[in-house]
Chain A
Amino acid sequence: MFSFCSEPDTLDSLRWFACYLTTGVEFNLYLSLGTVLALLAITAPAALVFGFLGAMASRSHFLPLSLLGKIYTAMVRGVPDIVYFLFFVIALDQGLEWTKHQIVCPDWTEPIRQGANFIVCPQAKIPLSTSPQWVHEVYNFFLAVFTFAIVFGAFAANVLSGAMAAVPRGQIETAEAYGMTHRQAFWRILVPQMWLYALPGLSNLWMILIKATPLLFLLGVEDIVYWARELGGTKAAKFSAYPHPDWRIWYFLGLLVFYLLFTKVSEYVLTRINRRLARGQSISGNMA
């Protein structure tokens, strides 16, 4: 990076660190911070959509749909989210490959599950085994994002169905008295009003989501935890121009500080939004 970095052995400690922190491998860690932000940016709206659909389904008058919605809403209550993370990331992968297999290789006669193996025809692999490495990584990342969206959608469904129930009954009754149909009352009266009640819960969900991002590591994505372990480990002088002892403590301390700042800033922003939205409303803006 810097011109004085060509001879790392001769540098004083400040310059040494400047060089060390700008080596190519270190940028993997910085880029993975981007991965976390990308995950948040995609998951948050996706989970909101899932949650909205879930909450809507659980209010449905059509029994199978409302049952489905209720199961989806209830699924995160008693079981740790990490169980779902580990489950969905494999189940989704196998489900996709199985579906593609049915379409691409209809004549395939051998069973897909052979003992401890899951074998689909080579053309049905996702991604194809011939695709470059980055396709695999992107695919893994999107599997992880989708998994996060499902699980956090369920949390959001809890919040949103609570918010829908919190809108005063009189509002809907008034809408009905004006001759609105169920659908009209839902979209024109209930949905615009429920956000105020949902916001404290959604703010909490955002904090939970931030704190769940290091679990990407468990889903096989090369995220910040992965790189902190890789880069922090002891580097011998033989293999690295920047030898150092085991620095994983400092790397994870850095991550801890990163998350503390992130949650602190989020908290500040969310409190302000809450206060702003509660202005002129008859509920206290401090429900969280």
Chain B
Amino acid sequence: MTCGEAFLAYALRSIGIGERLLPRSEFSLCQEAVLIGSGILWNLYFGLLALFFGFFIANAVAVAKTSKHPWLRKPADAFILVFRGSPLFIQFFLAYFTFLAVKQQGYLPWLTAAQWGALLVLILNTSAYAAQIFHGALMTVPKGDIEAASAYGITGWPLFRRILWPTTMRLAWPSYTNEAIFLFQATTLVFFSGFPAQGQQGDMLYYANYFADKTFNPFVPYPIVAVYFVILTLGIIGIFGLVNKWLNRHIPQDLRRRVRYRPQLIR
């Protein structure tokens, strides 16, 4: 099989388009690179959607955590504690078996599929981590900003929307970039954690693991995944860096907070 043929056969294999059977013998570098590369669609699917929905939930939870009312604050605290205090791997398993039991009762059968069930877990998980970041940032908004706003007669919702929230985002963004990177890294766990890959449609690590099992040679597939991931990470850093620049557009260059690698947000 030439490289071109491999590309046509496997470039979209992870979403079920192309050759039905995965390669079984004479594994070429092209086949491995193309098939593993096609798996990135799932990593992007889980990562982007979880990031998008998680962002809104995280903001809501972060604000709820600052609330004076215990019936708003306590659930937010508990939510963050449960999802940050336990391993994502266990969360996936627990969620999968729960969805399975619910399905056997005849409800929500689609939740046992990775594309819905695992996505839900990832959304909740990233919401908890991001909520903690946003809450931390919300607490460190300079007092002077709020006082200045009150002096102008800005209170309540306009205060939050025009003063608190933009500053929160600005303060939280470097940490949130790290969270996004680790969220994408966490998407590799999905197909190892109970959620089945239907029709052998899996993510990058699923295919890399397939090749490593078949060829008993870890030195080709895993470095391929690593290369794709480095590219993906650079892409995230690039996009989040642009947003960071935009958020800080009114601040002098040398005072801006830089996006820095901090491994404290990993699951």
A interface residue numbers (CB < 8 A to B): 76-83, 86-87, 90-91, 94, 113, 116-118, 155, 158-159, 201, 204-205, 208, 210-215, 217-218, 225, 228-229, 232, 246, 248-249, 252-253, 255-256, 259-260, 263-264, 288
Residues from chain A with Cβ under 8 Å of B181 in the complex: 78
- Inter-subunit contact A204/B216 (CB<8 Å): no
Which 5 pairs show the lowest CB-CB distances between chains A and B?
Answer: A80-B185, A78-B233, A87-B222, A204-B264, A252-B94
Residues from chain A with Cβ under 8 Å of B82 in the complex: 256, 260
B interface residue numbers (CB < 8 A to A): 25, 27, 81-82, 85-91, 93-94, 97-98, 100-101, 181, 185-186, 188-189, 192, 205, 208-209, 212, 214-219, 222, 225-226, 229-230, 232-234, 261, 263-264, 266-267
Task: Give the dominant DSSP class at A's interface.
Answer: helix
Q: Tell me the smallest distance from the CB of A36 to a CB of chain B, in Å.
A: 11
Residues from chain B with Cβ under 8 Å of A158 in the complex: 261, 263
Residues from chain B with Cβ under 8 Å of A81 in the complex: 185, 266
Residues from chain B with Cβ under 8 Å of A248 in the complex: 93, 97
Residues from chain B with Cβ under 8 Å of A77 in the complex: 233, 261
Residues from chain B with Cβ under 8 Å of A208 in the complex: 263-264, 266-267
CA distance A41 to B218 in the complex (A): 28
Residues from chain A with Cβ under 8 Å of B219 in the complex: 91
26 A/B residue pairs, CB under 8 Å, sorted by A:
A76-B263, A77-B261, A78-B226, A78-B233, A81-B185, A81-B266, A82-B188, A83-B225, A87-B218, A116-B217, A117-B216, A118-B216, A118-B217, A159-B263, A204-B263, A208-B263, A211-B267, A212-B87, A213-B87, A217-B89, A225-B93, A246-B100, A252-B94, A253-B94, A255-B94, A263-B86
Instruction: List the B residue with the shortest CB-CB distance to A261.
Output: B85
CA distance A116 to B26 in the complex (A): 9
- Inter-subunit contact B89/A214 (CB<8 Å): yes
- Inter-subunit contact B188/A215 (CB<8 Å): no
CA distance A117 to B216 in the complex (A): 6
- Inter-subunit contact A80/B205 (CB<8 Å): yes
Residues from chain B with Cβ under 8 Å of A288 in the complex: 264
CA distance A94 to B98 in the complex (A): 39
Q: Tell me the smallest distance from the CB of A174 to a CB of chain B, in Å.
A: 28
Instruction: List the B residue with the shortest CB-CB distance to A255.
Output: B90
Residues from chain A with Cβ under 8 Å of B27 in the complex: 116
Q: Tell me the smallest distance from the CB of A224 to a CB of chain B, in Å.
A: 9
Q: Kindly identify which residue among A118, A201, A211 contacts B86, using a CB–CB cutoff of 8 Å.
A: A211
CA distance A205 to B205 in the complex (A): 24
Residues from chain A with Cβ under 8 Å of B97 in the complex: 232, 246, 248-249, 252
Residues from chain A with Cβ under 8 Å of B91 in the complex: 256
Instruction: List the B residue with the shortest CB-CB distance to A215.
Output: B89
Residues from chain A with Cβ under 8 Å of B205 in the complex: 80, 82-83, 86
Q: A80-B185, A252-B90, A260-B82 are in contact. Are A86 and B209 (CB under 8 A)?
A: yes
Q: Kindly identify which residue among B94, B101, B222 contacts A83, using a CB–CB cutoff of 8 Å.
A: B222
Residues from chain B with Cβ under 8 Å of A82 in the complex: 185, 188-189, 192, 205
Instruction: List the A residue with the shortest CB-CB distance to B185.
Output: A80
Q: Tell me the smallest distance from the CB of B86 to a CB of chain A, in Å.
A: 4
Q: Tell me the smallest distance from the CB of A156 to a CB of chain B, in Å.
A: 10
Q: Tell me the smallest distance from the CB of A185 to a CB of chain B, in Å.
A: 27
- Inter-subunit contact A86/B90 (CB<8 Å): no
- Inter-subunit contact A259/B87 (CB<8 Å): yes
Instruction: List the A residue with the shortest CB-CB distance to B209.
Output: A86
- Inter-subunit contact B263/A83 (CB<8 Å): no
Residues from chain B with Cβ under 8 Å of A210 in the complex: 87
- Inter-subunit contact A256/B90 (CB<8 Å): yes
Residues from chain B with Cβ under 8 Å of A204 in the complex: 263-264
CA distance A159 to B261 in the complex (A): 10
- Inter-subunit contact A116/B90 (CB<8 Å): no
Residues from chain B with Cβ under 8 Å of A252 in the complex: 90, 93-94, 97
Residues from chain B with Cβ under 8 Å of A212 in the complex: 87
Residues from chain A with Cβ under 8 Å of B88 in the complex: 211
CA distance A83 to B185 in the complex (A): 9
Q: A90-B218, A113-B217, A255-B90 are in contact. Are A260 and B81 (CB under 8 A)?
A: yes
CA distance A204 to B189 in the complex (A): 21
- Inter-subunit contact A259/B233 (CB<8 Å): no
CA distance A248 to B95 in the complex (A): 11
Q: A87-B218, A204-B263, A249-B97 are in contact. Are A263 and B85 (CB under 8 A)?
A: yes
Q: A83-B222, A86-B209, A116-B215 are in contact. Are A256 and B86 (CB under 8 A)?
A: yes
Residues from chain A with Cβ under 8 Å of B85 in the complex: 259-260, 263-264
CA distance A159 to B97 in the complex (A): 37
CA distance A288 to B262 in the complex (A): 11
Residues from chain A with Cβ under 8 Å of B212 in the complex: 86-87, 90
- Inter-subunit contact A225/B89 (CB<8 Å): yes
- Inter-subunit contact A259/B86 (CB<8 Å): yes
- Inter-subunit contact B230/A79 (CB<8 Å): yes
Listed residue (B98, B226, B230, B264) with the most chain A CB atoms within 10 angstroms of its CB: B264
CA distance A81 to B90 in the complex (A): 16
